[in-house]
Amino acid sequence: MRILQTINQPEFANLPPGAIVPTLADRELFIGSESTIYRVMKEAKQLCHRGKARRPAHNRPKPFTATGPNEIWCWDITWMPAAAKGHYFYLYMIMDIYSRKIVGWEVHFAESAWLGADVIEKAALRERLHGKPIVLHSDNGSPMRASALLTKLYELGITASNSRPRVSDDNAFIESLFKTLKYTPRYPTGGFKCIDACRRWTQQFVQYYNGQHRHKGISWVTPLERHENQDVEILERRSRVYAAARKANPNRWSGEERKWTHIKSVTLNGRKEPNINKIAA
């Protein structure tokens, strides 16, 4: 085919269709549009990176598994809209992936590595993490990669983990939390009148989320219950309630009673591989 013969000539072999088409047009030649060339390349299994330079490899982040609280945290910064259109406050939030507890948060006027480092340090002090190994996962935002924040993590003995560029689901735990926060019925869709109003609302949300919100991912216990290792007893008690109900009226049960299963571990960046870096409790 003429298209394949042309694009595989030595002078075009390292060029994408976007560069080939205008070059041919300058020679008063037309063999097809860019979309047509891409289609032909795809059919010929030549739709790949052309040229000597290779695309940078962005491997999936290293997986870590938490078997208890304060082993793996994740954090991010999200916009909180102000009442004035185009203005925002910035919510810094840290979550423990094992318990889903919000272990740290603050609202500020700006997005900054220094502010992020301060929020993380305060959370580490509240959770009494001195000397305990912990992983902190985040996306690839500039505050997360700044030397000021990385230096603070080193001082605190915290191992940094980062998502791949432009891959949002590598930090799915915190993204899910932000969705819960912004879709809660009381979230002010018209924005916050001032930063103090934003802080008060966020404090109320955190108290509700940690202490009352029963989380599907941890067998419908609250993050605080799981963080304080109360979930095993709670789930066993639920199982006894269901077993007693079935014994009292077996005709109402067509199958097994509901299993209140204790989630023993949670994996960050999990994949089906045998080697998992497990953080000691």
Per-residue pLDDT, averaged over 268-275, amounts to 55
pLDDT (0 to 100) of residue 277: 44
pTM above 0.85, yes or no: no
Domain 64-211, second-level architecture: 2-Layer Sandwich (3.30)
One-letter-per-residue 3-state SS of the chain: CHHHHHHCCCCCCCCCHHHHHHHHHHCCCCCCCHHHHHHHHHHCCCCCCCCCCCCCCCCCCCCEEECCCCCEEEEEEEEEEECCCCCEEEEEEEEECCCCCEEEEEEECCCCHHHHHHHHHHHHHHCCCCCCCEEEEECCCHHHHCHHHHHHHHHHCEEEEECCCCCHHHHHHHHHHHHHHHHCCCCCCCCECCHHHHHHHHHHHHHHHHHCCCEHHHCCECHHHHHCCCHHHHHHHHHHHHHHHHHHCHHHCCCCCCCCCCCCCEEECCCCCCCCEECCC
How do residues 157-206 score in pLDDT, each as one tens digit? Answer: 999 988 765 555 557 899 999 999 999 999 998 999 999 999 999 999 99
Q: What average pLDDT does the chain have?
A: 86
* Residue appearing with tokens 């912004």: 182
Residue ranges covered by each domain of the chain: 2-43, 64-211, 223-268
63-108 pLDDT, tens digit per residue, is 899 999 999 999 999 999 999 989 999 999 999 999 999 999 999 9
As a whole number of angstroms, the distance between CA 64 and CA 135 comes to 8
Sheet of strand 72-81: strand arrangement: 102-108, 88-96, 72-81, 134-138, 158-162
Angle formed by the axes of helices 147-156 and 113-126, to 10°? 20
Read off φ and ψ for residue 78, nearest 5 degrees: -130, 155
Residue whose pair of structure tokens reads 């001082």 in the numeric block: 155
Residues 148 and 107 sit within 8 Å (Cβ to Cβ):
no
Residue 133 to residue 66: CA distance in whole angstroms: 12
Using CA atoms, how far apart are residues 248 and 149, in angstroms rounded to an integer?
Answer: 58
For residue 74, report the phi and psi dihedrals to the nearest 5 degrees.
-135, 155
Asked if 266 contacts 65 with a C-beta cutoff of 8 angstroms, the reply is yes
Q: 215 near 222, Cβ under 8 Å?
A: yes
Condensed to tens digits (0 to 9), the pLDDT of residues 116-153 reads 999 999 999 999 998 789 999 998 888 998 999 999 99
Say if CB 218 and CB 226 are below 8 A apart.
Answer: yes
Distance from C-alpha of 170 to C-alpha of 167, rounded to nearest angstrom: 6
14/202: higher pLDDT: 202
